[in-house]
Structure 1
Amino acid sequence: MKTIKLILMTLLFGLFLLQGASLYAQDPMKASPNVYKKVLLENDKTRVMEVEFKPGMAVAWHSHPNHVIYALTSGKIEITEKGKTATTMEIKAGTAIYMPAVTHMGKNVGITTIKLIVTEMKPMMQKKMNSMMPAAKKK
């Protein structure tokens, strides 16, 4: 009886570890090197990446801390956030978009190659910026 209980506990623990690993999406540079082309800058405050989505290309599940996207070219992209339905965005060249921390996947559903610059704010920088913001006024 003890042996069966030990085996069941070991299997349950193994399943827990396996499930836990799948809950955390990968770094975008590792998850989709076919789209996330290179790191342009990385330091203790930010990471800046060059992104190039050819039509039909998809990005695997990955995560970002708070980040800003700057569109070098226009295009149409489908984004699916964890636990939500997919949404389609028209991106216009020359626009910047702020995105809060997210786990998502994406696909170029348009007919043009989309080129982006993605700038992630590292957690220590986010804490520093939050502490510099004035406290919200109470009503």
Structure 2
Amino acid sequence: MTTSAESAPTEYDRNKGLDRIHPKAVQLLGDTFGIVMYESVLQPGDSVVWHEHPYHTVYVLEGGSLTVYFEDMEPQPFELPKGAALIQPPLGDMAVNTGETSVRLLTHDLYSLNP
């Protein structure tokens, strides 16, 4: 497991795509110009296994409660309101929907931004 930008993935490996790791909750929407876009839907109690991102954006389509696990950190609870957006550096994480509603996210993995 890794969270550092220096050791984050710089090339997209389709076999490690989040849609292949967790197809129940993640759908690939596009893969072009070094940008991989997918939608994740986590029902209450669902989780997404450990995975790694390059630089990436997340947009909350349907909000709710997630607990996110990062390497060498305590679990981080997040309340994600609909319409919230963020951009993050390369990191690895896993997440659990700890709320009572589904959470729907649009994520862009930006391999084109890696050096």
Equivalent position amino acid for 1:85 in 2: E
**Could you list the runs of 4 or more consecutive aligned residues of structure 1 that deviate by over 6 angstroms after TM superposition?**
none
- CA-based RMSD of the aligned residues comes to 1.9
Equivalent position amino acid for 2:42 in 1: F
Deviation at 1:30, TM superposition (A): 2.3
2:50 to 50, 57, 61: 61
Q: Does 1:94 find its partner at 2:83?
A: yes
TM-score (norm 2): 0.81
5+ residue gaps, structure 2: 1-7, 9-15
Q: Does 1:112 find its partner at 2:115?
A: no
Maintained 8 Å contact 1:27/1:64: no
Q: CA–CA distance in 2 between the matches of 1:61 and 1:100?
A: 16
TM-score (norm 1): 0.68
Matches within 5 A, 1:70-81: 70-81=59-70
Deviations 1:74-109 (A, max 9, x none): 100000012211100000101111121111110000
5+ residue gaps, structure 1: 1-23, 129-139
Q: CA–CA distance in 1 between the matches of 2:17 and 2:69?
A: 16
Matches within 5 A, 1:1-139: 26-36=16-26, 38-122=27-111, 125-127=112-114
Q: CA–CA distance in 2 between the matches of 1:120 and 1:54?
A: 22
SS of residue matched to 2:20? helix
Maintained 8 Å contact 2:59/2:106: yes
Deviation at 1:127, TM superposition (A): 4.3
Larger radius of gyration: 1
The answer to which structure has the higher helix fraction is 1
Deviations 1:33-75 (A, max 9, x none): 1211x11111132011011000000111111111100001110
Equivalent position amino acid for 2:35 in 1: T
The answer to which structure has the higher strand fraction is 2
Equivalent position amino acid for 2:23 in 1: P
**What is the number of residues matched between the two proteins?**
102
